[in-house]
Amino acid sequence: MVGGLFKNMKYNLDFWRNNIYINDNVLQAAHEVGAVKVVSCLSTCIFPDKTTYPIDETMIHNGPPHESNFGYAYAKRMIDVHNRAYFQQHGRCYTAVIPTNVFGPHDNFSIEDGHVLPGLIHKPLMVWGSGTPRRQFIYSLDLARLFLWVLREYPEVDPIILSVGEEDEVSIKEAADAVVQALGFKGEVVYNTSKADGQFKKTASNAKLRHYLPDFTFTPFKQALKETCDWFVANYDAARK
């Protein structure tokens, strides 16, 4: 179960219970049928709210997550505990990846339930919040290539962050401006500061990923965003929204 900031704020209990059930059922079923590798997906929102930056894989359990999505964050942290326990007791190589903000074709473009970039693409050009928070975005096609590498070659039980570099972090305002450019929008962009900003930043280090894949090339942000906007326009009737 996944959703954007405002859905998380409204349904913390549902996010906790449903994801805990999913975690346990999937990993236990995999163990019972003899699956030798499972790759689960975590999120940078699981990291402590009060922390130093950049965050890395060793810091997951160092403090409470942001209050806005504590149910989802704690449930996702438990996958790391699950994985380590299956390895300790049964020798299973179950692991997890931690992507930053994912976007791309076939995303969920729901204004209420979607994440920030698909939400910006779908809604009229009113941005919820001040536009100052900063995020790292990873194109879904790049993430798919990295998922296959993790499944086939990544040898560790400990999780790994899948992200562009710290230098590629952008503000929500910069992301909104990029959407405006990609869609050819000529009107005014309005920032609704009555809406919460959420966590200001979650800057993640991809040093561990670069240790394994120093030559991996990410799709440039504006190119990936243009491809995503073009897909959304061409497939508007069928897109999740």
Task: Report the mean per-residue pLDDT for the chain.
Answer: 89
Question: Which comes out higher in pLDDT, residue 120 or 83?
Answer: 83
Instruction: Give me the mean pLDDT over the 108-131 stretch.
Output: 66
Angle 74-176-172 from CA coordinates, rounded to 5°: 40
% the chain with pLDDT above 90 = 62
Range 5-234: architecture per CATH:
3-Layer(aba) Sandwich (3.40)
pLDDT of residue 223: 95
Residue 214 CB-density burial (10 A; 0-12 exposed, 13-18 middle, 19+ buried): exposed
Q: Which residues are catalytic?
A: 72
Alpha-carbon dihedral sign for residues 99, 171, 200, 241: negative
Please tell me whether the peptide bond between 54 and the residue prior to it is cis, using omega within 30 degrees of 0: yes
**How confident is residue 195, by pLDDT bands cut at 50, 70 and 90?**
confident
